[in-house]
């Protein structure tokens, strides 16, 4: 065997051990730090999402929960000091709310799983890609239990077992513990990913619905968002912020 051939075999083996795809791999590599692109139209950068511009297909039960989470007649009409947003007490934001928030996500792609490190609330999530089935009775977990598979250039992720005490977004959209979330992560090119979220939750919504596509851009290591920083919801910090900013802004006297 030629020395060059031996080097190729060793390089491929090392790449596989490190979790990097070999030259013959067909699945895209999603590794890197990604951030929602705020420079384009659509539901970017925390703007109102499609399912809030057009009311989602609530069941009567789901609509009642939504109205209970939504002070006033329009989203966020009441000051946060008088709202019931779980984040106001430093609770975890949960999976969907974390995915749509414009903070960096560090993706680490391994042979049997994909790990996502979220700057928002400084949490991690595992997407199993080893062929296992979605479990029947997981959780409930704040970030659910996620299983992924590749369909061509798209990573399809199914998540179940979500803790229904969280909200889907900052406008108070609820869900039940029966909710099934499907994400589709398509790598458009080396610097771009498009992602959609589909919510299937019969107790809350009359039919499944899908978000507008969200565009994420790769962040160079030397850029301001090129690494994930520590952003933790510490109860003592949230309490201080409420007393110093949120309550006075809302007119609440402690």
Q: Return the percentage of the chain with pLDDT > 90, whole number.
A: 55
- The answer on pLDDT for 10 being more than 50 is no
Half-sphere exposure in the Cβ direction for 138 (13 Å, CA): 18
pLDDT score of 40 more than 80: no
* Average pLDDT score over residue span 99-121: 95
Phi, psi of 34 (to 5 degrees): -120, 150
Task: Answer yes or no: is pLDDT of 229 > 50.
Answer: yes
In terms of Cα–Cα distance, which of 169, 165, 163, 131 is closest to 149?
131
pLDDT at 169: 86
Question: Does 3 have pLDDT greater than 80?
Answer: no
CB-CB neighbours of 252 under 10 Å: 14
Phi/psi at 51 (nearest 5 deg)? -75, -5
Question: What pLDDT score does 146 carry?
Answer: 98
Which residue in 31, 10, 9, 34 sits closest to 20, CA to CA?
31
How far, in Å, CA of 67 to CA of 249, rounded?
23
For residues 84 and 67, give the distance between their C-alpha atoms in angstroms, rounded to a whole number.
12
How do residues 175-194 score in pLDDT, each as one tens digit? 999 999 999 999 999 999 99
DSSP one-letter code for 248: H
CATH architecture of the domain with residue range 25-250:
Beta Barrel (2.40)
Residue, of 116 and 169, whose pLDDT is higher: 116
pLDDT at residue 81 in the model: 66
Alpha-carbon span 115 to 134, nearest angstrom: 17
> pLDDT class for 80, splitting at 50, 70, 90?
low
| Mean per-residue pLDDT, 110-128 | 96
Percent of the chain with pLDDT over 70: 78
User: C-alpha angle 188/192/195, rounded to 5°?
Assistant: 75
Q: Which of 2-11, 61-70, 159-168, 218-227 has the lowest mean pLDDT?
A: 2-11
What is the pLDDT of the chain when averaged over all its residues?
A: 82
Helix (H) / strand (E) element for 184: namely strand 180-189
d(Cα 126, Cα 9) in Å, to the nearest integer?
Answer: 30
**What is the rounded CA–CA span in Å between residue 206 and residue 226?**
40
Q: Which strand (E) or helix (H) includes residue 238? A: helix 235-241
pLDDT at site 106: 97
Tell me, what's the pLDDT at 79?
Answer: 60
Q: Give the H or E element holding residue 61.
A: helix 60-69
Phi then psi for residue 107, to 5 deg, are -105, 125
Q: How far apart are CA 251 and CA 254, in angstroms?
A: 10
Which residue from 139, 132, 124 is spatially nearest to 176, judged by alpha carbons?
Answer: 139
pLDDT band with cut points at 50, 70 and 90 for residue 38: low
Question: pLDDT at residue 22 above 50?
Answer: no
Buried/exposed 139-159: b ≥16 CB within 10 Å, e otherwise = bebbbbbbbbeeeeebbbbbb
- Which residues lie below 8 Å from residue 138, measured CB to CB, with a gap of 6+? 144, 145, 160, 161
**For residues 118 and 105, is the Cβ–Cβ distance under 8 A?**
yes
How many residues comprise the chain?
254
> Which pLDDT band holds residue 25 (cuts at 50, 70, 90)?
low
* The pLDDT value given to residue 1: 53
Domain ranges for the chain, please list them.
25-250
């Amino acid at each position: 065997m030629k020395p060059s051939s031996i080097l190729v075999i060793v390089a491929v083996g090392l790449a596989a051990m490190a979790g990097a795809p070999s030259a013959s791999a067909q699945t895209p590599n999603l590794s890197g730090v990604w951030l929602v692109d705020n420079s384009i139209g659509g539901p970017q950068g925390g703007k109102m999402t499609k399912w809030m511009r057009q009311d989602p297909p609530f069941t009567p039960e789901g609509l009642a929960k939504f109205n209970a989470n939504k002070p006033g007649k329009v989203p966020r009409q009441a000051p946060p000091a008088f709202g019931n947003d779980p984040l106001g007490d430093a609770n975890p934001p949960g999976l969907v709310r974390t995915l749509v928030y414009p903070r960096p996500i560090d993706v680490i792609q391994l042979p049997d799983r994909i790990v996502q490190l979220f700057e928002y609330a400084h949490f991690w999530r595992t997407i199993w890609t080893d062929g296992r089935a979605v479990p029947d009775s997981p959780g409930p977990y704040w970030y659910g239990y996620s299983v992924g598979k590749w369909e061509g250039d798209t990573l399809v992720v199914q998540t179940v077992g979500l803790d229904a005490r969280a909200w889907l977004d900052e406008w108070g959209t609820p869900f039940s513990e029966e909710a099934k979330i499907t994400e589709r992560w398509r790598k458009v090119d080396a610097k771009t990913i498009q992602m959609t979220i589909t919510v299937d939750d019969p107790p809350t919504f009359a039919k499944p619905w899908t978000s507008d596509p969200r565009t994420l851009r790769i962040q160079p290591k030397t850029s301001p968002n090129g690494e994930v920083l520590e952003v933790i919801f510490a109860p003592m910090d949230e309490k201080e912020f409420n007393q110093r900013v949120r309550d006075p802004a809302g007119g609440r006297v402690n």
